[in-house]
Amino acid sequence: MEFGLPKKNKKENTIEKYPTTGVITFLPTAEKLGRKMELNTFAKELLNLTDTNNQVSFSFAGNDIYIVNTSGLEGVSGLKINKSNTFTDKKQYEFIKNKLYNLKDEDTLELFFEQTTNEFNNNKVYKLVSQVLSSEYPIQEEYTSEQVDMLESDNLAKEIEVSSVEQLYNE
């Protein structure tokens, strides 16, 4: 028996999509709303983030993106992670999602953590590797030549690796 007012936002138990892989998700945005990025639980563990140790920074080298825990470091700006494992930063969100990946607001971008040998102030640095989940076309391992023609006509061939497109045309 519970006494008092019921909790308004009772947290439901959810099953994570990637329980053993670090993932940062760039969520679709609605007009005039924040640009939200979300870390899954495993990514938070990999970065050694806690309630008080909760700041990350991105680093860019060409088209490569890296992420590191920068909590408590003087002179290093970072993005503060809230209790729901989300954070917002319009400039970095738009640079990553729109400039590097040329995606629309309604698309979802998942970047997977890949361990590197690099460290920054004794914190592990992770490279972020992409998987684009288009709002219009799901990602597939193999495409038929008809699907490639359709995607190219819609200017969405960027989502397919060049090697797989060349492989289809060589068949």
The neighbour count for residue 124, using CB atoms within 10 Å, is: 17
Six-digit token pair at 163? 């090697």
Per-residue confidence (pLDDT) for residue 42, from 0 to 100: 93
Q: Are 116 and 66 in contact, with CB atoms under 8 Å apart? A: yes
Q: Which of these, 170, 168, 132, lies nearest to 147 by C-alpha position? A: 168
pLDDT at 157: 39
Q: Give CA–CA dist 56/71, Å, rounded.
A: 7
Position 169 scores a pLDDT of: 44
- Per-residue confidence (pLDDT) for residue 146, from 0 to 100: 61
Across the chain, which has 171 residues, the per-10-residue mean pLDDT values are: 68 75 85 80 92 87 90 87 86 86 84 92 91 49 53 44 42 47
**pLDDT at residue number 83:** 85
pLDDT at 141: 41
